[in-house]
Amino acid sequence: MDKVTWKVEGFAELEQQLKAFSDGYRYDLVARQTLVKAAKTSMERVLFDVIANAPYDTDRPATDSDKPHLRYTARLDARIPYEKDKMSDFVKDTDAVIAVVSVKKSAVSLSHEFGNARTGAKHFLRNALESNATKVVNDLKSELAIIIPEYAKKLSRMRKK
């Protein structure tokens, strides 16, 4: 699996700004209210793409008693990385936040995404991220430009009380 590499600049300055205006408040709470929210919102288009393109057997529609199709198990999670997350090749110790689009881990989902001895891979998770990567980065920038000033104002009002 090829890794997509981005050159990112300005995050050290962003982190300093967040720490400066969050003085007196827990940094992890500030990060959850700013970085995590922005990451989650910016990854929504990937989630929608996964739902739209996940393999679906039209000859066997899902029922309440049947195992759900992959599109019904798709979910988006954004958070400050746990120690377990940092064991991944894709998460670094310096990552402030991660956003993950996933489906229920099963033999079926793994077989579709990576292939097996009988069938080739039908990438739907990877394709969703790769086809939306530039849009996600632009959305993240836009979201941060909105969320951070709003949260800074909120903290300022809280300090005045």
Q: Does the residue 85 lie in any domain?
A: yes
156 lies in a domain?
A: yes
* CA-closest candidate to residue 138, choices 12, 6, 17, 4: 6
Residue 154 has pLDDT above 90, yes or no: no
Please indicate, yes or no, if residue 17 is contained in any of the structural domains: no
The number of distinct structural domains making up the chain is: 1
Question: Does the residue 88 lie in any domain?
Answer: yes
The per-residue pLDDT for range 126-151, each reduced to its tens digit, is 899 999 999 999 999 999 999 988 98
Does residue 13 sit within a domain?
Answer: no
CA torsion sign for 50, 52, 57, 60 is positive
The sign of the dihedral angle between the CA atoms of 114, 97, 134, 41 is positive
By residue range, what is the domain housing residue 46?
Answer: 26-56+65-160
**Span 53-72, average pLDDT:** 70
Per-residue pLDDT reduced to its tens digit, 9-56: 777 777 777 777 777 788 788 888 999 999 999 999 999 999 998 877
> Within a domain: residue 12?
no
SS3 at position 98: strand
Instruction: Establish if 70 belongs to a structural domain.
Output: yes
**Is the per-residue pLDDT at 125 higher than 80?**
yes
pLDDT in the model for residue 102: 87
Residues 6+ apart with CB under 8 A from 133: 4
Any domain includes 143: yes
Residue 58's pLDDT band, with cuts at 50, 70 and 90, is low
